[in-house]
């Protein structure tokens, strides 16, 4: 069902990818920027270990958000693809109807008038036509 579709806008995939990567980089920078405090001389190995564990948990949450964003992008791309297919099918239908209407109009023009049955069908007040 892809041969009739319009080509995608150039750079569409790059823009979405760049947005996701920028958001992930900003999250990572904020997380790492806040976590780069120097160890205090009174820090114990246990408190340093707890801080490392907390940072790993934050990194894991950031990774999960990034993965969800990637899944959302994939889902939205599928929706866009389906919408493009529907739009292309609708445009094909419009084009066929336009061709049929053009053929009918050309035939009427060549015949020198409109068919009385068609005129009756198209009139806004059939009683006055009759």
Nearest C-alpha neighbor of 51 from the set 64, 35, 62, 34:
35
pLDDT in tens, 74-110: 999 999 999 999 999 999 999 999 999 999 888 877 8
Q: Model-level pTM greater than 0.75?
A: no
Predicted pLDDT at 104: 86
Asked whether 120 and 129 are in contact (CB, 8 A), the reply is yes
**Dihedral sign, CA of 115, 116, 120, 124?**
positive
Structure tokens at 49: 């270990």
Asked whether 48 and 39 are in contact (CB, 8 A), the reply is yes
- Rounded to whole angstroms, the Cα distance separating 85 from 2 reads 7
pLDDT in tens, 10-69: 555 666 666 766 777 777 666 665 555 555 567 788 888 999 999 999 999 999 999 999
- Length of the chain as a residue count: 130
Predicted pLDDT at 3: 56
Predicted pLDDT at 62: 96
At residue 38, φ and ψ (nearest 5 deg) are -75, 150
Predicted pLDDT at 119: 77
């Amino acid at each position: 069902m892809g041969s009739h579709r319009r080509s995608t806008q150039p750079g569409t995939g790059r823009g979405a990818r760049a947005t996701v990567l920028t958001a992930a980089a900003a999250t990572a920078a904020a997380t790492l920027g806040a976590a780069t405090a120097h160890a205090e001389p009174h820090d114990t190995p246990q408190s340093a270990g707890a801080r490392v564990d907390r940072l790993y948990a934050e990194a894991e949450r950031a990774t999960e958000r990034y993965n969800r964003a990637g899944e959302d992008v994939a889902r939205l791309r599928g929706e866009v693809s389906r919408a493009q297919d529907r739009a292309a099918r609708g445009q094909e239908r419009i084009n066929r109807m336009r061709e049929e209407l053009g053929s009918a109009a050309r035939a009427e023009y060549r015949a020198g008038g409109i068919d009385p049955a068609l005129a009756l069908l198209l009139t806004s007040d059939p009683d006055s036509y009759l």
